A and B are shown apart, each in its own frame.
Chain A
Amino acid sequence: MKDVVVKVENLSKRYRIGLKEDTKDTLFGALGSVLKSPFRNLKRLQKLTHFNNGQQNSDDIIWALKDVSFEVKRGEIIGIIGKNGAGKSTLLKILAQITHPTSGRVELNGRIASLLEVGTGFHPELTGRENIYLNGTILGMTKKEIDRKLDQIIDFSGVEIFLDTPVKRYSSGMRVRLAFAVAAHLEPEILIIDEVLAVGDAEFQKKCLGKMKDVAQQGRTVVFVSHNMAAMQTLCNNGVLLNDGEIKFSGNIEDTIIAYKENSQIIFNDIEISKGIFDLKNHPNKQLKNLGVLKALTYCDNKLANTFYPGCSFKFEVEIRNKEDDNNTLFGFIIKTNDNEPIIGINNRHTGDIFTIKKGEIKTLSINLPDFPVYRNGIYWVDFCLGNRNTNYEIIENAFSFEIECFDIYKTANILDPKLNLILNKHATLKLLEK
């Protein structure tokens, strides 16, 4: 008999958003509004903590969560899924007791720790060792606990020789490693994790995932938010799908992911603005606004298209805008089957191309896959990744999809078996050797 450790009942949370103030265009109007501004400001600031119940649906109120209820049992790992702005982070913040719900209640049974960010409270002037203690106690550990685990933490972080150096002299990578080492040694009964995995390099992400698997195996309860569906699928048992602050679906993780994909399919349909042209600015998986990968165009044999055939000349172009001057921009993509299995994935580090891109400039990258080797009928998805020297600052999963339509390549009327030949080469031949 499993008992319920997290019980969420009719949770709602509203926020007040800023409204544009009306501006006066006459001198006297402007003067008057300057004189009145302290009163207006006072009213505005008071409204931050006072919600007048009469104006439930006033323009400047948004409901980040609406009537959300679910339960998590002991030892369960639950993934919260939803596009940006669906209310995932708000939900985590309420579970972590950082912010209070407007209505509804949360019941927690057990010691809780939240990991919404790594390295909270790190002080640049303090040494690595001192920060381990400071950060550890902020996360809810006691000094004794940290004393006991200090060696493990230091070991895990891999920064032992810099341990008595102020953290301000650390590289950003070292800082993240140290911070994660502390967080990884928390031993709460309920662990709440936001997308901490989105930071750091691939190796670090792997380490994080491994650690989280360990936590799961120790029978602790985990509430996990991520856009990384693969990680969700391997880690979680159950999922909750949020959309616009409401629960759209909850059930086992596979079904939840399917529901999420169906749910976002509607939005995906708006992504393709005309054949082969994908506007990614409002993509549900996009994290940055007006930055990063903005647009993609796909060409089959140099013609705009989103249906391809095996062995064609597959080309796509992406428009990107860098967030900073960078002489070492990283761009990569992954092509996946409809079952989320990656089949092709390269970036410009692999190919040895160097991209120097100025901040704010919109640049077009061209990716060519001549003699496209995918021979199986079906829908395929493309992920994008954009980064600089240190981090991948934008990852768009399932940025767009395209279709492969197989035809009679060998012109024999015997079409290739659609269950086989995910990859092939049109020059493949079978010959009987003469003796």
Chain B
Amino acid sequence: MGWQPIDWKELWRYKDLFYFLVWRDIKTRYAQSVLGIGWAVIQPIFSMIVFTIVFGKLAKINSDGVPYAIFSYTALVPWTYFSGGLTGASGSLLGASGMMTKVYFPRLVIPLAPVMAKLVDFCIAFIILLLMMFYFGFTPTINIIYLPGLILLMMLTASGMGMWLTAMAVQYRDINYAMSFFVQLLMYVAPVVYPASNIPESFRLIYGCFPMVGVIEGFRSILLQTNPIPWDLIGVGSVVALIFFISGAFYFRRMEKYFADIA
């Protein structure tokens, strides 16, 4: 216990369990479905088509000078990961209540597994993004070396918020009912369908407090060269994401002992 939010030593002892949980998530997600892993790209691609028609063509939202399709898809790849990881993590403990009431293991592996597992979908969607870049004639620059950092930030955000939400969802089922609605609202907070440059300069740093803002704008800047890399947004976002992660781990640790009794 004590002041250490995560017992790394214990987590390490159960690394094989973590590995198999991630692997189970990946393996069973599209079991007995016709399209299988194809579902990983259908969601962002169809959203892109709808957004391009509604926001690009009808509402004529500015897209920082690049075709709206690739503008929105570049945002949808990290966003789909984030929303999937967050939804998966927040529902994870309730889904694992059978395990939790019967066996001891570090509970933290449960919400972290879907956050990891969703990376597979992310990679597939990212390959499609590379193909689209090729089609629209974008070539990646040296800045691509920053991309792994952004991916880490994206995972940190999803797991930090995931820990908070899943620990709360065990006690308050409302979280589960609100989740899909909440994630949808968040999407309009993040610059998915519009560029961050539409936000007034004076609100820019407050806006950057949602870590996915930095991630999405970073993706666009690195891959599509819309703007210079938005270090201010990424910086603010990283701090907030870290706060989310650490406080989430503390909250999770505090609630952990009640899980088996109230799940």
A266 at the interface (CB under 8 A from B): no
Contact B17 A137 (CB under 8 A): yes
Q: Measured between C-beta atoms, what is the minimum distance from B30 to chain A in Å?
A: 10
Say yes or no: A121-B16 contact (C-beta < 8 A), given A48-B171, A98-B260, A126-B24.
no
Q: Measured between C-beta atoms, what is the minimum distance from A304 to chain B in Å?
A: 45
A143 at the interface (CB under 8 A from B): yes
- Which A residue sits closest to B173, measured CB to CB? A45
Chain B 237-263 residues near chain A, CB threshold 8 A: 255, 257-258, 260-262
Interface residue count on the B side (C-beta < 8 Å): 28
Contact A48 B27 (CB under 8 A): no
**Interface-facing stretch out of A54-62, A112-120, A154-162, A238-246:** A112-120
Contact A98 B16 (CB under 8 A): no
A99 at the interface (CB under 8 A from B): yes
What are the residues of chain A within 8 A of B258 when measuring CB–CB?
Answer: 48-49, 100
Pick from A100, A123, A126, A139: contact of B103, CB below 8 A: A139
What are the residues of chain A within 8 A of B177 when measuring CB–CB?
Answer: none
One digit per residue, 1 when the CB lies within 8 angstroms of any chain A CB and 0 when it does not, for chain B 198-230 equals 000000000000000000000000000000000
A134 at the interface (CB under 8 A from B): yes
Contact A98 B31 (CB under 8 A): no
A138 at the interface (CB under 8 A from B): yes
Contact B103 A138 (CB under 8 A): yes
One digit per residue, 1 when the CB lies within 8 angstroms of any chain A CB and 0 when it does not, for chain B 88-111 equals 000000001011111111000000
Chain A 95-143 residues near chain B, CB threshold 8 A: 96-100, 112, 114, 116-117, 120-121, 123, 125-126, 130, 133-134, 137-143
One digit per residue, 1 when the CB lies within 8 angstroms of any chain B CB and 0 when it does not, for chain A 53-97 equals 000000000000000000000000000000000000000010011
Q: Measured between C-beta atoms, what is the minimum distance from B7 to chain A in Å?
A: 12
Q: Measured between C-beta atoms, what is the minimum distance from B35 to chain A in Å?
A: 16
Docked CA distance A130–B28 (Å): 11
Contact B102 A120 (CB under 8 A): yes
Contact A93 B16 (CB under 8 A): no
Docked CA distance A91–B15 (Å): 28
What are the residues of chain B within 8 A of A137 when measuring CB–CB?
Answer: 14, 16-17, 19-20
Contact A98 B14 (CB under 8 A): no
- Which B residue sits closest to A194, measured CB to CB? B102
Contact B32 A125 (CB under 8 A): yes
Say yes or no: A134-B102 contact (C-beta < 8 A), given A48-B258, A99-B261.
no
Contact B99 A138 (CB under 8 A): yes
- Which B residue sits closest to A48, measured CB to CB? B262
Docked CA distance A137–B18 (Å): 9
What are the residues of chain B within 8 A of A15 when measuring CB–CB?
Answer: 261
B172 at the interface (CB under 8 A from A): yes
- Which B residue sits closest to A90, measured CB to CB? B261
Contact A98 B104 (CB under 8 A): yes
Chain B 92-139 residues near chain A, CB threshold 8 A: 96, 98-105
Contact A123 B28 (CB under 8 A): yes
What are the residues of chain A within 8 A of B24 when measuring CB–CB?
Answer: 123, 126, 130, 134
Contact A97 B16 (CB under 8 A): no
What are the residues of chain B within 8 A of A134 when measuring CB–CB?
Answer: 20-21, 24
Q: Measured between C-beta atoms, what is the minimum distance from B94 to chain A in Å?
A: 14
- Which A residue sits closest to B172, measured CB to CB? A45
Chain A 173-209 residues near chain B, CB threshold 8 A: none
Contact B261 A143 (CB under 8 A): no
Docked CA distance A211–B104 (Å): 22
Docked CA distance A71–B27 (Å): 44
What are the residues of chain B within 8 A of A112 when measuring CB–CB?
Answer: 104
Pick from B16, B103, B261: contact of A142, CB below 8 A: B16
What are the residues of chain B within 8 A of A96 when measuring CB–CB?
Answer: 103-104
Contact A143 B28 (CB under 8 A): no
What are the residues of chain B within 8 A of A100 when measuring CB–CB?
Answer: 257-258
Contact B103 A116 (CB under 8 A): yes
Contact B19 A143 (CB under 8 A): yes
Contact B255 A49 (CB under 8 A): yes
What are the residues of chain A within 8 A of B104 when measuring CB–CB?
Answer: 96-98, 112, 114, 140
Contact B255 A120 (CB under 8 A): no
Contact A99 B260 (CB under 8 A): yes
The interface of chain A, by Cβ under 8 A from chain B, is 15, 45, 48-49, 93, 96-100, 112, 114, 116-117, 120-121, 123, 125-126, 130, 133-134, 137-143
Which 10 A-B pairs have CB atoms at the shortest separation, nearest pair first?
Answer: A100-B257, A137-B17, A97-B104, A125-B31, A143-B16, A99-B260, A125-B28, A117-B102, A120-B102, A98-B260
15 A-B pairs whose Cβ atoms sit less than 8 Å apart in the complex: A45-B171, A48-B171, A96-B104, A98-B101, A100-B257, A114-B103, A114-B104, A123-B24, A125-B31, A126-B24, A134-B20, A134-B21, A138-B103, A140-B104, A143-B20
Known: A100-B258, A133-B20. 7 other contacts (CB 8 A): A48-B171, A48-B258, A98-B104, A116-B102, A116-B103, A125-B32, A142-B16
The interface of chain B, by Cβ under 8 A from chain A, is 14, 16-17, 19-21, 24, 27-28, 31-32, 96, 98-105, 171-172, 255, 257-258, 260-262
